[in-house]
Every structure is written in C-alpha cells, then in structure tokens.
C-alpha cells in the first residue's frame, strides 16, 4: 500500500513540475512576443514613407500641423521636458543656428508633452525663435513611436525626424547628443539638398 501511495505521489509531482515548466515556457513565449511587438512598433516608421500629421498648439496658442509646412523641410525634434539641462542645451543650439536653418528653408518644430504655459516660459527664458508644440495627450509622440515613461512620468524620447517638402520622412535620429545635434542636422539637410531651391 505504501508503495502505491509513493507511486501516486511521484506521478502528481511529475505532473505539477510539468505544469510549472509549461507556465514558464508560456511566460517566455509571451515575453518574446512582447519584445517582437516593441521592435516592430519602433521600426514601422521608415524613411520614404509619409510622416504622420498632427495638429498642436505652440507656446503662443497658435495651431500648427505638418500640412502647414508642405513644400518646406521640417526638423521635428521631440524632447523629454522643458527647462531640463539636456533639453535646454538642445533648444539653445537650434536657436543659435536659426539663421542657417532659415537660409536653407528649413522649419524647426520642438515637441514635448509639456503644456502651452510651460512652453511659453521655456521659450521666453531662452528666447527660442521657433515653435514649441504642446503634445499634452501624447498623440504625436505615439504616432512617431517616441512616447515613453521616465521617473514615473509620460514623456517623449529625445529623437528627431527630418521631413522633406513632400511630407515624407527623410531621416530619423534615434541617438541624439544635445550639444552637437543642431550642427549634425544642418549638415544632413544640406547633404539631402535642402536650400537648393530655397528663396532668399
């Protein structure tokens, strides 16, 4: 009789171990599937395809859409937060090169999830001569796959998109150095042919 119960016990243990391994396998499969979805989401915006449109208010309450800038090159740069060190450096670098961007007919648009009031204070403090768009609901950040969480807050990743005069994505910067980015973008715009048909 003891032998019988011992055998039944071993059968039950084996079954439970099998179930545990199956659960672990399912968790592993689910995790891999999530990673694949994330990779797909981050890669589905490709150079040459139409850039997602948007309609957002700037620091002065004026609405801007991508369609407003058709026939112009657009530097659409997303950044995490107004008044933070890296974001301030990046914005001021674009500010300091604004005449070079205007000379080649390129429009700079900064975007974060901060509101209009925050943008207004940021723009006034650093005399930023270009629109800062308030993507408060994060819809533009989602459309460009740059919405994320940082220290418990929803923010935009620091990434930039060059959009050509036809409204198509021409270049995507996923790795941005705030102190060098403006010069890099300016050089790339010239290489892409920006300014060749710009009117003085």
Q: pLDDT averaged over consecutive 10-residue blocks of the chain (200 residues)?
A: 50 53 47 40 76 97 97 97 98 98 97 98 98 98 96 94 97 97 97 72
Distances 20 to 10, 15, 25, 27, 150 between C-alpha atoms, Å: 15, 9, 9, 11, 34
Residues 158 and 117 in one domain: yes
Same domain? 116 vs 29: no
| Confidence at residue 150, expressed as pLDDT on a 0 to 100 scale | 87
Question: Tens of pLDDT along 186-200?
Answer: 999 999 999 875 443
| Co-location of 116 and 89 in the same domain | yes
pLDDT averaged over the chain? 85
Domains contained in the chain, number: 2
> Whole-prediction pTM value?
0.77
Active site residues: 87
Task: Tell whether 182 and 84 lie within a shared domain.
Answer: yes
What would the pLDDT profile of 31-73 be if each residue is shown by its tens digit?
433 434 344 444 468 999 999 999 999 999 999 999 999 999 9
Residue 64, exposed/middle/buried by CB under 10 A (0-12, 13-18, 19+)?
A: middle
Give the pLDDT score at 195.
82
Residue 87 maps to a domain: yes
Q: Determine the pLDDT at residue 197.
A: 59
State the pLDDT at residue 199. 40
- Domain around 36: 1-44
pLDDT at 84: 97
Confidence at residue 40, expressed as pLDDT on a 0 to 100 scale: 41
- Closest listed residue to residue 107, CA positions, set 52, 49, 162, 48: 162
184 and 121 inside one domain? yes
160 touches 128 (CB < 8 A): no
- Residue 110's SS3 state is strand
What's the pLDDT score for residue 49? 96
Give the H or E element holding residue 57: strand 55-57
Structure tokens, 161: 């998109």
Contacts of 168 (CB under 8 A, 6+ apart): 48, 49, 50, 51
């Amino acid at each position: 009789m003891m032998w019988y119960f011992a055998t039944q016990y071993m059968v039950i243990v084996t079954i439970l171990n099998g179930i545990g391994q199956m659960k672990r396998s399912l968790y592993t499969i689910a995790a891999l599937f999530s990673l694949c979805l994330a990779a797909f989401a981050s890669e589905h915006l490709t150079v040459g395809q139409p850039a997602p449109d948007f309609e957002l208010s700037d620091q002065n309450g004026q609405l801007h859409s991508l369609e407003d800038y058709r026939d112009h090159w657009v530097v659409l740069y997303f950044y995490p937060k107004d008044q933070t060190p890296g974001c301030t450096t990046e914005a001021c670098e674009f500010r300091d090169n604004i005449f070079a961007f205007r000379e080649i007919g390129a429009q700079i648009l900064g975007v974060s999830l901060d509101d209009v009031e925050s943008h207004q204070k940021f723009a006034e403090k650093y005399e930023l001569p270009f629109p800062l768009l308030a993507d408060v609901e994060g819809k533009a950040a989602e459309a460009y796959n740059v919405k994320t969480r940082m220290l418990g807050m929803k923010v935009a990743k620091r990434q930039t998109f060059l959009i050509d005069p036809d409204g198509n994505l021409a270049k995507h910067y996923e790795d941005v150095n705030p102190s060098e980015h403006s010069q890099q973008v300016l050089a790339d715009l010239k290489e892409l042919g920006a300014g060749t048909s710009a009117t003085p």
